[in-house]
């Protein structure tokens, strides 16, 4: 057991809290990011607890990375936060920073959604490490997350490179003890080393075949990043964050992240190389382990990135041939490791036929109103990345096209171009998606003479990630009323011909606005304005109920897709459609679809 | 310290206060000096999705954030469809605490899947594990909203079952719940402890009759 003093400095933190603490202890000055499950809370904790650090939710991930790069060039340690799908948006900015001279440490905290918990595509941010030749660190618990966060800034400055700290849905949402130095006092760290920093494109263009390339005017731009990475790879053999545990000689495991702990629990006798730095690899340590054991496995979540890189060193390891990756497996668990490496382990079979849960919209959500108007009038539409995308799932079927954040406006534009505006294919987008990149799609649509209708569902926040501020929100870390952007004014300024703003609860007006906009032979925007019911805890009206005498079980109300309406089986086996009065907000949307007037208040 | 640690799965649907429950429990076990690891698995959407919390306390450092199927000592569930999802992961002498509350799965509402043919409560009772069922309808009270505070009812129930000091557990509740909710939560806690006392008395008398 710990002594009293140690307990006082041990705190329970989840991975997101630990990363925020690490940023504080590293002396970060500027933090910019874009919300994304599971790492959104890193910024929220940083802002709440460490007010010395400037925080902002940027309009998108590319902007966030650029802000961080600027602050880093100014000499101050800076971080950019996003999930891996967000790094795709910011990849161009990161590519610019990679290979260039770094003043203040520059760290990207990027989270992979292993297990597809938030339903994202199956991504692995470590590929960017390979592509851009930059280091990637991967913590396996909260203590590790805090320590590696500090280490990431040191590496960034020592080896003049941006660094990715990769977290996952498991590290972010796992709470474990972290040792805190209670006496730490914050100081923004500053290092003003290079007078210029250019992307490697400019740098190499200037150097290429240039006579007199030894001239100081050119050499001051030059950053020999491959040499830095080689030096880091060599140094990482002796670094504490790559931990070699030589135990039994039968099984050896090379691992990183939480899979280290799964494997450690299932295979207590095995030898381990736990990587804190997964890119570049410590070749000598890997060879040492390979020589020590009979069988060498790589156990890593996500893609086979470590595995491939080790195989490229000419070392043979067993990985995905034993544990095939997606879609066979979405992430490791201790059970998956045990099944393959502990032959006589007892098998456990889950109960069959337990129904799965598709995502559902909150009761009273404005998206439900929009989805139902589109469905009623058989208007074909594209959804965006927003709570409204729940309307794509088979229980709703309101949309026929959905891709990435901010895409729906351009998707509709492309569709209507190809169909020569004969189908009035509509774009639905949230306020978050609109500011993220949707606005680019709208400007493009206007100046290319597009005729599409765009429905912007403005709920005053990024609802899906828990209600963070966007440019048109009436709150936020740096909120000032005079700086709030107006969606309608921006639409007008970029040249939208027809703009209507409606309250979705006035369903007659909503229906009229959408139908009119679709039928107008011009481009148009319908702004559907209602704050997010969950974030802003909107007051509830009297809950509705279904009069079972009048209900004919046509299920029209259940197909509205509201969380409060359920199909319930009674003890006698009969099925009833009922409204859960604890969940119902009394918004009355369901009563508008009932032909029997069975839904009452 | 006789209890070297336990593995607990806390389950339910979004909005039921599962994370508060595991937070309160973590504060309690920390005071007792245990090592902890708690991993929350939250599905898509703000409301209505499945939520599970893998809660492990031990007198040694905890390794895996996820509990292996077969290693679970307690399943504490606030929704009975979710209870069924985790029954198989219990140890032979593992114990189930389950509310009879049910939120119909979207897939059943949308007729993508058939509802389960059998009564879920009966399926849970029939499992080979020791089971404790709490029916929120049966224990409705004018003093607090049981559908909102089932988490704290369950906390009182669990504390009684484990023979923990109610004073210590109530202190944890007082320290971690917003002031305006303390009164209702304490009523909920006491209710849970009272239900458990009555239930444990019958279970014991039943077993002594056998």
Both A412 and A512 in a single domain?
yes
Determine the 3-state secondary structure of A353 from DSSP.
Answer: coil
Q: Given A282, A308, A341, which residue is the final one in a domain?
A: A341
Of A173, A349, A559, the CB nearest to B40: A173
Sort strands A599-600 and A545-546 into parallel, antiparallel or unpaired: antiparallel
Look up the CATH number of the domain holding residue B136: 3.40.920.10
CA dist B131 and A62 (Å) reads: 52
Both A407 and A511 in a single domain?
yes
Residue A535 zone, left/alpha/beta (φ > 0; ψ -120 to 50; rest): alpha
Q: Please report which helix (H) or strand (E) contains residue A524, including its range.
A: strand A524-529
Q: Does B36 touch chain A (CB under 8 A)?
A: yes
Are A334 and B68 within 8 A, CB to CB? yes
Residue to test with chain B: of A2, A264, A360, A546, most B Cβ within 10 A: A360
Q: Is residue A584 situated within a structural domain? A: yes
DSSP state of B62: -
Strands (E), A15-130: 30-33, 54-57, 78-83, 106-112
Q: How confident is the model at residue A119 (pLDDT cuts 50, 70, 90)?
A: low
Q: Output the DSSP codes for B68-102.
A: PTT-EEEEEESSHHHHHHHGGGEEEEEEEEEE---
Q: Is residue A233 situated within a structural domain? A: no
CA distance B118 to chain A (A): 9
Residue A557: what are its φ and ψ, rounded to 5°?
-70, -40
Q: Given A207, A222, A255, which residue is the final one in a domain?
A: A207
CA dist A402 and A287 (Å) reads: 47
Look up the CATH number of the domain holding residue A249: 3.40.50.920
Least confident segment among A80-84, A228-232, A386-390 = A386-390
Look up the CATH number of the domain holding residue A21: 3.40.50.970
Per the listing, tokens 């990375």 go with A65
Of A2, A170, A395, the CB nearest to B109: A395
- Using CA atoms, how far residue B166 sits from A83, A291, A321, B188, B193, in Å, is 42, 56, 52, 13, 9
Of A118, A350, A559, the CB nearest to B88: A350
Q: Is residue A399 situated within a structural domain? A: yes
Nearest to A561 by CA among A355, A353, A364: A364
Determine the 3-state secondary structure of A495 from DSSP.
Answer: coil
ipTM, two decimals: 0.94
How does A163-198 read in b/e, with b if 16+ C-beta sit within 10 Å?
bbbbbbbbbbbbbbbbebeeeeeeeebebeebeebb
Q: Is residue A348 situated within a structural domain? A: no
Full domain range(s) for residue A574: 545-600
Both A510 and A576 in a single domain?
no
Mean pLDDT across A152-173: 97
Q: How many CB atoms neighbour CB A357 within 10 A?
A: 23
Q: What is the pLDDT of residue A574?
A: 87
Both A32 and A162 in a single domain?
yes
Q: Does B85 touch chain A (CB under 8 A)?
A: yes
Q: What is the pLDDT of residue B44?
A: 64
Q: Please report which helix (H) or strand (E) contains residue A304, including its range.
A: none
Both A27 and A117 in a single domain?
yes
Q: Classify residue B80 by burial, with Cβ atoms within 10 Å: 0-12, 13-18, 19+.
A: buried
Q: How confident is the model at residue A78 (pLDDT cuts 50, 70, 90)?
A: very high
Both A521 and A373 in a single domain?
yes
Q: Classify residue A595 by burial, with Cβ atoms within 10 Å: 0-12, 13-18, 19+.
A: exposed
| A573-587 confidence digits (pLDDT tens) | 788 999 999 899 999
| A206-229 confidence digits (pLDDT tens) | 777 777 778 888 888 888 899 999
Q: How many CB atoms neighbour CB A107 within 10 A?
A: 32
- Dihedral angle over CA of A334, A335, A340, A346, nearest 10: 130
Are A335 and B69 within 8 A, CB to CB? yes
CA dist B174 and B171 (Å) reads: 5
Q: Rounded to an integer, what is the distance from CA A18 to the centroid of its chain?
A: 18
Both A69 and A197 in a single domain?
yes
Side-chain-side CA neighbours of A138 within 13 Å: the count stands at 29
Both A553 and A524 in a single domain?
no
CA distance B158 to chain A (A): 22
Q: What is the pLDDT of residue A121?
A: 64
Mean pLDDT in consecutive groups of 10 residues from the start of chain B, 210 residues: 92 92 96 96 73 96 97 97 97 97 91 90 93 95 92 98 97 95 96 96 57
Full domain range(s) for residue B88: 5-209
Q: Is pLDDT above 50 for A1? A: no
Q: Is residue A353 situated within a structural domain? A: no
Sort strands B5-13 and B50-58 into parallel, antiparallel or unpaired: antiparallel
Q: How many CB atoms neighbour CB A506 within 10 A?
A: 13
Side-chain-side CA neighbours of B8 within 13 Å: the count stands at 25
Q: Is residue A540 situated within a structural domain? A: no
DSSP state of A437: I
Report the number of distinct structural domains present in chain A: 4
Both A293 and A401 in a single domain?
no
Q: Is pLDDT above 70 for A538? A: yes
Both A398 and A461 in a single domain?
yes
CA distance A186 to chain B (A): 28
CA dist A286 and A292 (Å) reads: 10
Across chain A, what does the average pLDDT equal?
A: 94
Are B68 and A335 within 8 A, CB to CB? yes
Residue to test with chain A: of B26, B38, B47, most A Cβ within 10 A: B47
Q: Please report which helix (H) or strand (E) contains residue A25, including its range.
A: helix A15-25
Are B64 and A568 within 8 A, CB to CB? no
Q: What residues pair up with A106 in beta bridges, in sequence order? A: A78
Are B110 and A394 within 8 A, CB to CB? yes
Mean pLDDT across A227-235: 97
- Number of helices (H), then strands (E), belonging to chain B: the values are 7, 6
Q: How confident is the model at residue A158 (pLDDT cuts 50, 70, 90)?
A: very high
Structure tokens at B209: 């009759």
Q: Is pLDDT above 50 for A172? A: yes
Q: Please report which helix (H) or strand (E) contains residue A297, including its range.
A: strand A295-299
Contact assessment for residue A566 and residue B109, using Cβ atoms and an 8 Å cutoff: yes
Q: Is residue A232 situated within a structural domain? A: no
Q: Is the dihedral of CA A57, A59, A65, A70 positive or negative?
A: negative
Both A122 and A203 in a single domain?
yes
CA dist A320 and B158 (Å) reads: 42
Q: Is residue A537 situated within a structural domain? A: no
Contact assessment for residue A75 and residue A61, using Cβ atoms and an 8 Å cutoff: no
Determine the 3-state secondary structure of A234 from DSSP.
Answer: helix
Of B41, B48, B85, the CB nearest to A360: B48
Both A434 and A502 in a single domain?
yes
| A446-465 confidence digits (pLDDT tens) | 999 999 999 999 999 999 99
Residue to test with chain B: of A262, A330, A355, A564, most B Cβ within 10 A: A355
């Amino acid at each position: 057991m710990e002594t009293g003093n140690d307990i006082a400095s041990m705190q329970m933190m989840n991975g997101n809290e630990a990363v925020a603490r690490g940023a504080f202890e590293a002396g970060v000055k500027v933090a910019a990011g874009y919300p994304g499950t599971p790492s959104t809370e890193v910024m929220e904790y940083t802002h709440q607890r460490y007010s010395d650090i400037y925080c902002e939710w940027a309009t998108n991930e590319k902007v966030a990375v650029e802000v961080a790069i600027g602050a880093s060039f100014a000499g101050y340690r800076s971080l950019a936060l996003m999930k891996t799908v967000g790094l795709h948006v910011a990849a161009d900015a990161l590519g610019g920073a990679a290979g260039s001279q770094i003043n203040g440490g520059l760290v990207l905290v990027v989270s992979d959604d292993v297990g597809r918990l938030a339903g994202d595509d199956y991504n692995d941010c470590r590929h960017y490490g390979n592509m851009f030749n930059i280091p990637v660190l991967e913590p396996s618990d909260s203590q590790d997350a805090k320590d590696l966060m500090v280490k990431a800034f040191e590496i960034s400055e020592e080896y003049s490179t941006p660094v990715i700290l990769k977290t996952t849905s498991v590290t972010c949402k796992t709470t474990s003890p972290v040792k805190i130095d209670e006496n730490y006092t914050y100081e923004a760290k500053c290092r003003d080393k290079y007078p210029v920093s250019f992307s490697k494109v400019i740098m190499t263009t200037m150097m290429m075949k240039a006579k007199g390339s030894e001239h100081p005017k050119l050499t001051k731009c030059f950053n020999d990043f491959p040499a830095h990475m080689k030096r880091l790879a060599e140094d990482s053999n002796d670094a504490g964050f790559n931990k070699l545990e030589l135990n039994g000689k039968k099984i050896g495991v090379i691992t990183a992240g939480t899979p280290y702990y799964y494997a450690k629990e299932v295979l207590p006798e095995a030898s381990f190389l736990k990587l804190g730095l997964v890119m570049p690899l410590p070749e000598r340590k890997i060879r040492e382990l390979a020589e020590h054991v009979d069988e060498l496995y790589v156990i890593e979540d996500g893609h086979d990135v470590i595995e491939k890189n080790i195989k490229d060193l000419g070392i043979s390891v067993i990985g995905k041939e034993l544990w095939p990756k997606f879609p066979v497996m979405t992430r490791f668990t201790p059970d998956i490791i045990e099944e393959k490496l502990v032959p006589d382990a007892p098998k456990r079979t889950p109960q069959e036929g337990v129904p799965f849960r598709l995502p559902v919209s909150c009761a009273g959500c404005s998206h439900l109103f929009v989805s139902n108007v589109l469905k009623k009038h058989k208007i074909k539409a594209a959804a965006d990345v927003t709570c409204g995308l729940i309307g794509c799932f088979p229980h709703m079927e309101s949309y026929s096209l959905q891709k990435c954040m901010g895409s729906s406006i351009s998707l509709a534009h492309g569709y209507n171009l190809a169909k020569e505006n004969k189908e009035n294919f509509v774009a639905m987008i949230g306020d978050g998606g609109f500011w993220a990149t949707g606005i680019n799609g709208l400007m493009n649509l206007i100046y290319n003479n597009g005729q599409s209708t765009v429905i912007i569902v403005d709920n005053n926040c990024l609802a899906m990630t828990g209600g963070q501020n966007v440019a048109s929100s009436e709150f936020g870390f740096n909120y000032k009323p005079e700086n709030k952007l107006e969606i309608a004014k921006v639409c007008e300024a970029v040249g939208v011909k027809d703009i209507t703003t409606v309250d979705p609860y006035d369903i007659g007006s909503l229906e009229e606005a959408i139908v009119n906009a679709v039928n107008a032979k011009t481009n148009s925007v319908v702004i559907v304005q209602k704050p997010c019911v969950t974030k802003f805890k909107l007051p509830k009206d009297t809950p509705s109920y279904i009069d079972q005498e009048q209900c004919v079980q046509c299920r029209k109300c259940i197909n509205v897709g509201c969380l409060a309406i359920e199909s319930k089986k009674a003890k006698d086996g009969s099925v009833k459609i009922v409204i859960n009065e604890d969940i119902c907000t009394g918004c009355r949307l369901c009563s508008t679809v009932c032909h029997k007037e069975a839904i009452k208040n | 310290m006789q209890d070297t640690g336990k593995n607990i799965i806390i389950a339910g649907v979004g909005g039921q206060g599962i994370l508060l429950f595991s937070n309160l429990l973590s504060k309690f076990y920390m005071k007792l000096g245990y090592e902890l690891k708690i991993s929350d698995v939250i599905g898509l959407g703000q409301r209505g999705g499945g939520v599970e919390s893998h809660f492990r306390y031990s007198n040694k450092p905890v390794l895996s954030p996820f509990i292996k199927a077969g290693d679970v000592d307690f399943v504490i569930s606030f929704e009975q469809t979710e209870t069924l999802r985790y029954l198989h992961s219990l140890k032979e002498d593992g114990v189930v605490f389950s509310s009879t509350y049910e939120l119909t799965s979207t897939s059943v509402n949308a007729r993508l899947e058939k509802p389960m043919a059998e009564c879920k409560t009966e399926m849970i009772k029939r499992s080979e594990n020791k089971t404790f069922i709490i029916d929120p309808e049966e224990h409705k009270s004018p003093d607090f909203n049981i559908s909102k505070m089932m988490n704290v009812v369950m906390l009182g129930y669990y504390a009684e079952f484990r023979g923990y000091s109610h004073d210590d557990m109530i202190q944890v509740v007082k320290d971690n719940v917003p002031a305006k909710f303390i009164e209702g939560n304490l009523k909920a806690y006491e209710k849970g402890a009272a239900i458990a006392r009555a239930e444990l008395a019958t279970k014991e008398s039943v077993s002594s009759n056998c």
